[in-house]
Amino acid sequence: MTNLLYTDIEDALRESVRGAMERHLDPHSTTGIYDEPKPWEAKAWQSLTEELGVAGLLVPEDRGGVGAGPREAAVVLEEIGRAVAPVPYLTSSVIATQVLLELGESEHIAALAAGEATAALVLPWSARPGHWSPVQGTEPVKPVAGAMGADLLLIPVAEAGGVQLHLVKAAETTVESLVSFDMTRPLAAVTPASGEVLATGDDAHRAVEAGLQAGAALLASEQYGLARSCLETTVDYVKNRIQFARPIGSFQAIKHRLADLYLEVTQAGAAARYAAATLADDDADKAVAISVAQTYCSDVAVHAAEEAVQLHGGNGMTWEYPVHLYLKRAKSSQLALGTPEKHRQDLGPLVNITT
């Protein structure tokens, strides 16, 4: 079976990204986004793109990237999840980048890899691999993730007999921001527009599909990072919070719940890693791995965040404590790129289980 462990290089990458997130983000300023919306935290994004160059992980060196791959991008996303970082890594550096990669595009992809531009795929954020429809008519598409602040929009438009993929400059259409449940990945309504046609028919379809697959596969790692962070934060909190003259983490009911959560988070890690690895290897089991990871990691992230709120007691309910940021991100991510129910629905036929 494919390797599920982290390489030394990946460990080093994790350390760099974690350091950058710690330097450039703090929970209070992240919470501030809810009152003063912005597409992303400029300093954190700059650090990821300019200092660390991780926007180009998926892109080969000869097209302006660093020639790594999904395993490495997954490590970055684990750290983004851990920090609930408001950065467009998943939408621009993974999904949009993968769409362009698939098309053999090289001009814009170099700009994305270098962090000189960001892009977004214009589909509702709930679209999933194998189940999405190209944009019809002139009504705004919503809710679209990563479109706020993006330079480039990739719009798959319905055409007689298929899809036409348009590259539209943000300035050439209207991107209206929406009040999002998770303001750290703000959503927008994007008015469809025509632009440079990148591909049509099967090519266009395949490229969008590849973008969504990469997004779903690697979102699992972001969810895992978030879940693990919730577990660690909560373990730490219950060790230190004293009630009834003892740390509440010494109460057996709480210990057992956290033991169960540890199991879930650990398994989520294996599932996310397997999804990233099969994507990297273009393994025949890729579609199975993605559905498994999306179903499992989505729910584990929500459960971990919900347990974090509950076990932080009243503090978990406040605006002051950062726990709420995790819950909002987790719940939104559960809906992103297909709900667990939909992925479970998709999985059966892949493993010869049908109704």
Partner 1 sequence: MSDPKTMLRQRVDELLATYDPATVSATEFLGARFDAGLAWVHFPEGHGGLGLPQEYNEDVANWLAEAGAPEPDRSRNGIGLGMVAPTIMAIGTKEQQEKYLRPLYTCEEIWCQLFSEPGAGSDLAAVATKAVLSGDTWTVDGQKVWTSGAHHAKRAILVARTDIEVPKHAGMTYFLVDMEDPGIEVRPLRQITGEAEFNEVFLNGVKIPDADRVGETGEGWKVATTTLNNERVAIGSGADREAGHIGVLAEKWRKYPAIRSEAAYHELMHWWIEAEVTRLTGERLRQQLEVGQPGPEGSAMKLAFATQAQAITGLAIELDPDHGLLYDDWTMHRPDSTDFLGRDVGFRYLRAKGNSLEGGSSEILRNVVAERVLGLPAEQRLDKGIPFKDVPR
| Contact set for a copy of itself, span 236-295 (CB under 8 A) | 251-253, 255-256
End-to-end CA gap in the chain: 30
CB 323 within 8 A of CB 177: no
310 binds, among partner 1, a copy of itself, none (CB under 5 to 8 A by kind): partner 1
218 binds, among a copy of itself, partner 1, none (CB under 5 to 8 A by kind): none
Find the shortest distance in angstroms from Cβ 250 to a copy of itself. 10
Closer residue to partner 1 in complex, CB, 180/213: 180
The site map against partner 1 for 249-288 (x = CB under 8 A) is xxxxxxxx-xxx-xx--xxxxxx-xx--------------
Distance CA 176, CA 142 (A): 10
Residue 173 touching partner 1 (CB under 8 A): no
Residues β-bridged to residue 135 = 157
Site for partner 1 in 112-141 (CB under 8 A): 124-126
Tell me how far the alpha carbon of residue 351 is from its chain's centroid: 26
Residue 292 touching partner 1 (CB under 8 A): yes
State residue 139 phi and psi, 5-degree precision: -60, 145
Closer residue to a copy of itself in complex, CB, 50/260: 260
Site for partner 1 in 323-342 (CB under 8 A): 324, 327-328, 331-332, 334-336, 339-341
Residue 177 touching partner 1 (CB under 8 A): no
Q: How many of the other CB atoms lie within 10 Å of CB of 266?
A: 15
197 binds, among a copy of itself, partner 1, none (CB under 5 to 8 A by kind): none
CB 91 within 8 A of CB 121: yes
Q: How many of the other CB atoms lie within 10 Å of CB of 229?
A: 23
Site for partner 1 in 193-252 (CB under 8 A): 235, 238-239, 242-252
CB 184 within 8 A of CB 87: no
Instruction: Extract the tokens encoding 287.
Output: 């579609």
Site for a copy of itself in 15-74 (CB under 8 A): none
97 binds, among partner 1, a copy of itself, none (CB under 5 to 8 A by kind): none
Instruction: Extract the tokens encoding 66.
Output: 């660093």
Residues β-bridged to residue 169 = 152
Site for partner 1 in 21-60 (CB under 8 A): 34-35
Q: Supply angle C-alpha 38, 295, 307, rounded to 5.
A: 70
Find the shortest distance in angstroms from Cβ 274 to partner 1. 5
Size of the site for a copy of itself (CB under 8 A): 5
State residue 37 phi and psi, 5-degree precision: -60, 140
**Residues at the site binding a copy of itself, with contacts judged by CB under 8 A:** 251-253, 255-256
